[in-house]
Structure 1
Amino acid sequence: MPGRPTSGGDGVSRVDLAAQQAALLRALLADGPAPPGFDTARLRVEAQVLRRKHGRVLAYQRPELAEQLGERFGPLFAEFAAGRPKRDAERSGAYADAFVEWLIEGGHVAKPRRGWVSRLRRR
């Protein structure tokens, strides 16, 4: 039938599958509740792994920032990511910009000279 969501081999509609996937992403990226059938503890471990991965990507994208922060980079990024998880459709560059702004607002790095933030965003 036109307009009717088709189902997969197990009888789950595409709409239901999309909703289940969205719930899983919320659990992994935004500290949402574990969807039915998923182990909460395992999802938390996976969420931590994803946050560390995001931190490595960010350090690769902004090596000058990682160098400036040195040993503080990991703990500061972990603190930032705990309060501001990466959104499922968010570009990693936008997430890096949000981290830089968080660092500046928190006094962890000095506010850059005029124009530096706009150059950072153009990358």
Structure 2
Amino acid sequence: MSREELAARQAELLHALLASGPAPSGFDPARLRVEASVLRRKHGRVLAYQRPEVAEALGERYGPLFAEFSAERPKLAAERSGAYADEFVAWLIAGGHLPKPRRGLRERLRRR
């Protein structure tokens, strides 16, 4: 298999795992759904570590809200986790789950 073919197969697999794309040939769709779910939960834990104030403010609502967000907007393979976290915070604010931030955070989110 050439490098190009391997890269294309890897891209298909990442698309299936991160963006709910179709399972590439040779992969079990049910197992990929399980792995995709594990990756989304991992992203949620990383985000909670990066933005502990968000997880603390949401309390028990954090997990379900992150699951809803990540189902609508999965993290892209090349996307920085900080940018994804900022997008989650903006989604929370837009949905009324968090109050509008103080001026400094609002400006940082707007620049992204």
Q: Report the TM-score, using the length of structure 2 for normalisation.
A: 0.94
Which of 102, 106, 122 pairs up with 2:95?
Answer: 106
- Equivalent position amino acid for 1:82 in 2: A
The Cα offsets for residues 58-114 of structure 1, whole Å up to 9 and x where unpaired, read as 000001111000000000000000000000000000000010000011111111122
Matched residues, percent identical? 77
Describe the SS at the equivalent of 1:32: coil
Describe the SS at the equivalent of 1:38: coil
Which of 102, 106, 109 pairs up with 1:117?
Answer: 106
Aligned-partner Cα distance in 2 for 1:63–1:77: 13
- How many residues were matched structurally? 111
Partner of residue 25, structure 2: 36
Tell me if the contact between 1:55 and 1:77 (Cα under 8 Å) persists in the aligned partners. Answer: yes
Describe the SS at the equivalent of 2:45: helix
Q: Which has the larger radius of gyration?
A: 1
Tell me if the contact between 2:15 and 2:21 (Cα under 8 Å) persists in the aligned partners. Answer: yes
Larger relative helix fraction? 2
Deviating beyond 6 angstroms after TM superposition, the runs of 4 or more aligned structure 1 residues are: none
Q: Does 1:77 align with 2:66?
A: yes
Tell me if the contact between 1:97 and 1:121 (Cα under 8 Å) persists in the aligned partners. Answer: no
The Cα offsets for residues 13-59 of structure 1, whole Å up to 9 and x where unpaired, read as 11111000000000000111000000000000000000000000000
Aligned-partner Cα distance in 1 for 2:56–2:11: 35
Aligned-partner Cα distance in 2 for 1:13–1:66: 44
Bigger mean CA deviation after superposition, 109-118 or 44-53: 109-118
1:119 Cα deviation after fit: 4.9
Tell me if the contact between 1:59 and 1:66 (Cα under 8 Å) persists in the aligned partners. Answer: yes
1:117 Cα deviation after fit: 2.8
Q: Does 1:57 align with 2:46?
A: yes
Aligned-partner Cα distance in 1 for 2:49–2:19: 23
